[in-house]
Amino acid sequence: MKLTLDLPADVFDEGFTEEAFATGLRELALLKLIDAHRLHEHEAQRLLGIERWELVERMEAAGIRPTEKGFEQIRGELGRAIAARGLAHEQEKTTMRLLHTMIRVGDLDETIKFYCGALGMKLLRRKDFPDGKFTLAFVGYGSEEESSVVELTHNWDTKDYDLGNAFGHLAVSVGDIYKACDELRRKGVKITREPGPMKFGGAPIAFIEDPNGYKIELIERKEEAGAGA
Protein backbone atom coordinates (compact mmCIF):
# COMPACT_ATOMS: atom_id res chain seq x y z
CA MET A 1 0.00 0.00 0.00
CA LYS A 2 1.23 3.46 -0.91
CA LEU A 3 -0.22 6.80 0.13
CA THR A 4 0.48 9.94 -1.89
CA LEU A 5 -0.15 13.41 -0.51
CA ASP A 6 -0.04 16.45 -2.76
CA LEU A 7 1.42 18.98 -0.31
CA PRO A 8 2.85 22.48 -0.88
CA ALA A 9 6.63 22.64 -1.14
CA ASP A 10 6.98 24.94 1.87
CA VAL A 11 5.32 22.54 4.32
CA PHE A 12 8.63 20.99 5.35
CA ASP A 13 11.84 22.59 6.60
CA GLU A 14 14.87 21.65 8.76
CA GLY A 15 12.77 21.62 11.93
CA PHE A 16 9.97 19.56 10.40
CA THR A 17 11.35 17.23 7.76
CA GLU A 18 9.45 15.15 5.26
CA GLU A 19 11.17 12.01 6.56
CA ALA A 20 10.07 12.64 10.17
CA PHE A 21 6.53 13.36 8.99
CA ALA A 22 6.40 10.15 6.94
CA THR A 23 7.72 8.08 9.87
CA GLY A 24 5.13 9.50 12.25
CA LEU A 25 2.33 9.00 9.72
CA ARG A 26 3.40 5.38 9.17
CA GLU A 27 3.41 4.68 12.91
CA LEU A 28 -0.02 6.26 13.33
CA ALA A 29 -1.38 4.17 10.46
CA LEU A 30 -0.06 0.95 12.03
CA LEU A 31 -1.62 1.87 15.38
CA LYS A 32 -4.94 2.53 13.65
CA LEU A 33 -4.77 -0.90 12.03
CA ILE A 34 -4.13 -2.50 15.44
CA ASP A 35 -7.11 -0.64 16.89
CA ALA A 36 -9.29 -1.85 14.00
CA HIS A 37 -8.10 -5.44 14.64
CA ARG A 38 -6.62 -5.58 11.15
CA LEU A 39 -3.01 -5.99 12.24
CA HIS A 40 -1.50 -8.11 15.01
CA GLU A 41 0.56 -6.28 17.61
CA HIS A 42 3.61 -8.48 17.05
CA GLU A 43 3.57 -7.67 13.33
CA ALA A 44 3.29 -3.94 14.08
CA GLN A 45 6.22 -4.26 16.49
CA ARG A 46 8.29 -5.94 13.76
CA LEU A 47 7.40 -3.32 11.18
CA LEU A 48 8.26 -0.46 13.53
CA GLY A 49 11.48 -2.11 14.72
CA ILE A 50 10.86 -1.38 18.40
CA GLU A 51 10.68 -3.30 21.68
CA ARG A 52 7.41 -4.73 22.98
CA TRP A 53 7.19 -2.25 25.84
CA GLU A 54 7.76 0.65 23.45
CA LEU A 55 4.81 -0.48 21.33
CA VAL A 56 2.63 -0.71 24.45
CA GLU A 57 3.72 2.79 25.49
CA ARG A 58 2.74 4.22 22.10
CA MET A 59 -0.53 2.28 22.03
CA GLU A 60 -1.52 3.62 25.43
CA ALA A 61 -0.59 7.15 24.35
CA ALA A 62 -2.97 6.70 21.43
CA GLY A 63 -5.71 5.33 23.70
CA ILE A 64 -5.35 1.73 22.46
CA ARG A 65 -5.33 -1.06 25.06
CA PRO A 66 -3.19 -4.12 24.27
CA THR A 67 -5.27 -7.27 23.78
CA GLU A 68 -2.82 -9.96 24.90
CA LYS A 69 -3.29 -11.88 28.17
CA GLY A 70 0.17 -10.83 29.30
CA PHE A 71 -0.88 -7.19 29.47
CA GLU A 72 -0.11 -6.76 33.18
CA GLN A 73 3.36 -8.24 32.70
CA ILE A 74 3.93 -5.94 29.75
CA ARG A 75 2.71 -2.99 31.80
CA GLY A 76 5.25 -3.91 34.48
CA GLU A 77 8.04 -4.00 31.91
CA LEU A 78 6.84 -0.66 30.59
CA GLY A 79 6.89 0.85 34.08
CA ARG A 80 10.42 -0.39 34.74
CA ALA A 81 11.63 0.87 31.38
CA ILE A 82 10.12 4.31 32.00
CA ALA A 83 11.66 4.43 35.49
CA ALA A 84 15.06 3.44 34.10
CA ARG A 85 14.76 6.10 31.43
CA GLY A 86 13.94 8.71 34.08
CA LEU A 87 16.86 7.61 36.28
CA ALA A 88 19.25 7.78 33.34
CA HIS A 89 17.98 11.27 32.57
CA GLU A 90 18.55 12.39 36.17
CA GLN A 91 22.04 10.90 36.18
CA GLU A 92 22.85 12.79 33.00
CA LYS A 93 21.81 16.03 34.70
CA THR A 94 23.78 15.31 37.91
CA THR A 95 27.47 15.73 37.22
CA MET A 96 28.53 16.60 40.77
CA ARG A 97 29.36 14.22 43.62
CA LEU A 98 30.87 14.47 47.09
CA LEU A 99 34.63 13.86 46.84
CA HIS A 100 36.06 14.20 50.34
CA THR A 101 35.86 15.79 53.77
CA MET A 102 39.02 17.57 54.96
CA ILE A 103 40.13 17.65 58.58
CA ARG A 104 43.34 19.21 59.95
CA VAL A 105 45.46 16.90 62.09
CA GLY A 106 48.39 17.39 64.45
CA ASP A 107 50.21 14.04 64.20
CA LEU A 108 49.73 12.70 60.67
CA ASP A 109 51.37 9.33 61.22
CA GLU A 110 49.29 8.57 64.31
CA THR A 111 46.15 9.71 62.50
CA ILE A 112 46.85 7.48 59.50
CA LYS A 113 47.54 4.60 61.88
CA PHE A 114 44.14 5.20 63.51
CA TYR A 115 42.08 5.41 60.31
CA CYS A 116 43.91 2.65 58.46
CA GLY A 117 44.75 0.40 61.41
CA ALA A 118 41.80 0.72 63.77
CA LEU A 119 39.08 1.58 61.25
CA GLY A 120 40.40 -0.48 58.35
CA MET A 121 40.61 2.28 55.75
CA LYS A 122 43.31 2.39 53.08
CA LEU A 123 45.90 5.10 52.53
CA LEU A 124 45.00 6.15 49.00
CA ARG A 125 47.71 8.77 48.47
CA ARG A 126 50.03 11.04 50.39
CA LYS A 127 52.02 14.05 49.20
CA ASP A 128 54.32 16.58 50.84
CA PHE A 129 54.29 20.25 49.83
CA PRO A 130 57.64 21.62 51.13
CA ASP A 131 57.08 25.17 49.90
CA GLY A 132 53.80 25.36 51.78
CA LYS A 133 55.06 23.28 54.72
CA PHE A 134 52.11 20.89 54.74
CA THR A 135 51.24 17.30 53.81
CA LEU A 136 48.01 15.89 52.42
CA ALA A 137 46.93 12.29 52.90
CA PHE A 138 43.72 10.71 51.63
CA VAL A 139 42.17 7.68 53.34
CA GLY A 140 38.99 5.74 52.63
CA TYR A 141 37.28 2.40 52.07
CA GLY A 142 37.25 2.73 48.28
CA SER A 143 39.01 4.57 45.50
CA GLU A 144 38.52 8.31 45.08
CA GLU A 145 36.93 7.62 41.70
CA GLU A 146 34.13 5.58 43.30
CA SER A 147 33.84 6.71 46.93
CA SER A 148 33.87 9.75 49.17
CA VAL A 149 37.05 9.80 51.28
CA VAL A 150 38.70 11.71 54.12
CA GLU A 151 41.48 14.21 53.44
CA LEU A 152 43.96 14.60 56.29
CA THR A 153 45.79 17.93 56.22
CA HIS A 154 48.95 18.24 58.31
CA ASN A 155 50.52 21.69 58.63
CA TRP A 156 54.09 21.05 59.70
CA ASP A 157 54.28 23.97 62.15
CA THR A 158 50.95 23.26 63.88
CA LYS A 159 50.56 20.49 66.45
CA ASP A 160 47.14 21.25 67.93
CA TYR A 161 43.88 22.74 66.71
CA ASP A 162 40.83 24.23 68.38
CA LEU A 163 38.07 21.98 67.05
CA GLY A 164 35.37 24.54 67.86
CA ASN A 165 31.67 23.75 68.20
CA ALA A 166 30.55 23.82 64.56
CA PHE A 167 31.99 20.57 63.24
CA GLY A 168 29.98 17.52 64.27
CA HIS A 169 31.46 14.16 63.32
CA LEU A 170 32.30 11.63 60.64
CA ALA A 171 30.21 8.47 60.39
CA VAL A 172 31.15 4.86 59.64
CA SER A 173 28.80 1.88 59.27
CA VAL A 174 29.52 -1.44 61.00
CA GLY A 175 27.82 -4.83 60.98
CA ASP A 176 27.72 -5.59 64.72
CA ILE A 177 28.28 -2.41 66.72
CA TYR A 178 28.93 -4.21 70.03
CA LYS A 179 31.55 -6.48 68.49
CA ALA A 180 33.10 -3.54 66.63
CA CYS A 181 33.42 -1.50 69.82
CA ASP A 182 35.00 -4.45 71.67
CA GLU A 183 37.59 -4.78 68.91
CA LEU A 184 38.29 -1.04 68.87
CA ARG A 185 38.61 -0.96 72.66
CA ARG A 186 41.23 -3.73 72.47
CA LYS A 187 43.12 -1.58 69.96
CA GLY A 188 43.18 1.30 72.43
CA VAL A 189 40.57 3.45 70.69
CA LYS A 190 38.75 5.90 72.95
CA ILE A 191 34.99 5.22 73.01
CA THR A 192 33.11 8.35 74.08
CA ARG A 193 29.60 6.91 73.76
CA GLU A 194 29.01 3.23 74.44
CA PRO A 195 27.03 1.27 71.81
CA GLY A 196 23.28 1.21 72.17
CA PRO A 197 20.01 2.45 70.68
CA MET A 198 19.49 6.14 70.00
CA LYS A 199 17.49 7.97 72.65
CA PHE A 200 14.62 8.76 70.29
CA GLY A 201 14.73 5.56 68.25
CA GLY A 202 16.77 4.31 65.33
CA ALA A 203 19.72 2.03 64.66
CA PRO A 204 22.22 1.30 67.47
CA ILE A 205 25.11 3.78 67.47
CA ALA A 206 28.35 4.55 69.30
CA PHE A 207 30.91 7.34 69.22
CA ILE A 208 34.67 7.06 69.18
CA GLU A 209 37.43 9.67 69.04
CA ASP A 210 40.45 9.90 66.74
CA PRO A 211 43.92 11.06 67.95
CA ASN A 212 43.01 14.69 67.19
CA GLY A 213 39.76 14.69 69.16
CA TYR A 214 37.43 14.39 66.15
CA LYS A 215 34.30 12.40 66.91
CA ILE A 216 33.35 9.45 64.69
CA GLU A 217 29.88 7.95 64.86
CA LEU A 218 29.54 4.21 64.36
CA ILE A 219 26.14 3.17 63.00
CA GLU A 220 25.02 -0.45 62.93
CA ARG A 221 23.93 -1.60 59.47
CA LYS A 222 23.05 -5.29 59.22
CA GLU A 223 24.12 -5.45 55.56
CA GLU A 224 27.67 -4.76 56.77
CA ALA A 225 27.64 -7.86 58.98
CA GLY A 226 30.87 -9.75 58.76
CA ALA A 227 32.92 -6.67 57.88
CA GLY A 228 35.37 -5.19 60.34
CA ALA A 229 35.02 -1.76 61.85
With contact defined as beta carbons under 8 Å apart, do 120 and 175 qualify?
Answer: no
- Give first-to-last CA distance, the chain, whole Å: 71
H-helix or E-strand spanning residue 206: strand 205-209
**Residue 217 annotated in active site:** yes
Query: What residues contact residue 151 under an 8 Å CB cut-off, 6+ apart?
Result: 100, 101, 102, 103, 136, 137, 138
Residue of 77, 209, 217, 224 with catalytic role: 217
Q: Cβ neighbours of residue 220 under 8 Å, at least 6 residues apart?
A: 173, 174, 175, 176, 177, 195, 203, 204, 205
Give how far Cα 43 sits from Cα of 8, 28, 34, 52, Å.
33, 14, 10, 11
- Tell me which residues are annotated as active site: 217
